[in-house]
Amino acid sequence: MRAFRRVPGARRFIAAARGVCLLFALALLAACAKRDEQTVVRFWAMGREAEVVSELVRDFEREHPDIRVEIQQIPWTSAHEKLLTAFAADALPDICQLGNTWVPEFAVLGALEPLQSRVDASAVIEEADYFPGIWRTNVVDDTLLGVPWYVDTRLIFYRKDILAAAGVAALPRTWQEWETAMAAVKTHVGPDRFAVMLPLNEFEQLLSFGLQQRDPLLRDDDSRGNFTSPGFTRALGFYTNMFEQGWAPRMSETQISNVWDEFGRGFFSFYVSGPWNIREFRNRLPAELQDQWGTAPLPGPDGPGAGIAGGTSLVMFRDSPNKDASWQLMEFLSRPEIQQRFHAMIGNLPPRRSTWEFPQLREDPYAQAFRDQLERVEPTPKVLEWERIVQEMRLMSERVVRGGMAQDEALQALDARVDTLLEKRRWVRAREMEEGEGIGAASAPHAADQGAAHAR
């Protein structure tokens, strides 16, 4: 049997190894202790935004070592239902990215923290620096409940070369000028191509024309439809005339290969769409067409017209235990330089005028048309039934365009349908007047029921 032979220096090696292990363990314990001392802010974000905001949040955490942010990515398709479920279970996060049209619903539920006092004390968030129409989407019953994060609106994408060949010397600023331009383009391109693409599966185009009117879309304290008003009747007439004249095809977006290829081959010369298509057209159009397209603000009845105030906001939930830390994150994400980085990552439009002074945006001719349009965006009615109402509007317009339904008949039917959707809202208002109670407590069960039904 061979005797074990001691290796020279083994004892020193073992002692050193033990020391290293001890130091590692102490460091790990210190890190865990530090982590336990941090305030954890739970942040829910949707879609692509959730993917890219993580990089910005890392910089925030370096500035605020006492705060850790946990980001949960939620698909847009399930976000509404998940938020309602979390509300019912008292499991909402601290802050969240919330679509502008969802703010009124969660306001009625009493889920959102009022923010005006924090904005008044903030050295970062300045109301006057935001486009006013976007800011107003977050004000419900005179209470500020969110801070705009990014904005979405619609305007015209157009083919410069086809317009020039058709003799259109200047971009249209009024409806009449636009109709004249579309007639000229249609004459030039012939029977197999069109002047404008207005996909029938989208509501945003008609909604934009409706927001350009003086008449509101809802009446009687947003408790009844107002689509038979002279203003919306005029908007629908302008919209449907494009199809009747043969300037627009009676098609949805699913009936063409894709909008980029069809725009590139000249199937249509005007296209009303949003800011994401700047990047898409740059990437998808062939090199020879890169100088042959542009963007322009929407024409209006008598001059440059209003547009949709879409997008998302950052909101804080009322039951958050970490409101001060959450507000610091909201302020960080609202800094102009951070918004500029966010735009560079994803292409979303910033809601602050000062952010548009960064060279990347100021020197981008395609983006500048959106900058102009954002000064004239208008919020939609702040009722929790709005998304259902606007889909009813789209279905009505499609019946007129495809099925030949008379416009007056369609608008009367739309108002009747909207009145039905808003029936409980009228009941709540009546109770409020009778009992002198706030709408929030009276309508919260209704809001939860309606929201859950919408999510299903």
Residue with tokens 């209006």: 300
Q: What is the pLDDT of residues 41-84, one digit of tens each?
A: 999 999 999 999 999 999 999 999 999 999 999 999 999 999 99
Regarding beta strands 143-144 and 224-225, do their DSSP bridges make them parallel or antiparallel, or are they unpaired? unpaired
Q: What is the pLDDT of residues 107-160, one digit of tens each?
A: 999 999 999 999 999 999 999 999 999 999 999 999 999 999 999 999 999 999
More confident residue, 102 or 433: 102
Query: What is the separation of C-alpha 328 from the centre of its chain, rounded to a whole number of angstroms?
Result: 22
pLDDT band with cut points at 50, 70 and 90 for residue 329: very high
Question: Which pTM value belongs to this model?
Answer: 0.86
Domains 37-153+309-378 and 155-308+385-421 share a fold: yes
* pLDDT value, residue 155: 97
Residue with tokens 């199937």: 267
**Is 150 within 8 Å of 311 (Cβ atoms)?**
yes
**Strand boundaries in 36-77, DSSP class E:** 39-46, 67-74
- In CATH, what number does 155-308+385-421 get? 3.40.190.10
* pLDDT value, residue 14: 54
Residue 419: is it exposed, middle or buried by C-beta count within 10 angstroms (0-12/13-18/19+)? middle
- Other CB atoms within 10 Å distance of the CB of residue 425: 24
Rounded Cα gap, residues 431 and 439, in angstroms = 8
Choose among 343, 337, 443: nearest CA to 385. Answer: 443
Maximum alpha-carbon separation in the chain:
108
**Is 270 within 8 Å of 197 (Cβ atoms)?**
yes
Q: Report the topology of domain 37-153+309-378.
A: D-Maltodextrin-Binding Protein; domain 2 (3.40.190)
Q: What is the pLDDT of residues 298-310, one digit of tens each?
A: 999 999 999 999 9
Q: Coil, strand or helix: which one is 139? A: strand
* pLDDT value, residue 406: 97
* pLDDT value, residue 403: 86
* pLDDT value, residue 301: 98
pLDDT band with cut points at 50, 70 and 90 for residue 30: very low
Burial state string for 51-79 with b = 16 or more CB within 10 A and e = fewer than 16: ebbeebbeebbeebeebbbeeeebeeeeb
Choose among 202, 185, 204: nearest CA to 255. Answer: 202
pLDDT, average across residues 8-35 = 52
* pLDDT value, residue 1: 45
Domain map (residue ranges) of the chain: 37-153+309-378, 155-308+385-421, 424-456
150, containing H or E segment: strand 147-152
Rounded Cα gap, residues 418 and 405, in angstroms = 18
Provide CB contacts within 8 A for 48, sequence distance 6+: 346
Rounded Cα gap, residues 271 and 263, in angstroms = 8
Rounded Cα gap, residues 321 and 137, in angstroms = 26
- On the question of pLDDT at 402 being above 50, the answer is yes
Tokens encoding 169: 């010397």
Rounded Cα gap, residues 105 and 448, in angstroms = 9
Lowest mean pLDDT among 21-30, 120-129, 315-324, 362-371: 21-30
- On the question of pLDDT at 194 being above 60, the answer is yes
DSSP 8-state class, residue 201: T
Choose among 145, 134, 71, 143: nearest CA to 106. Answer: 145
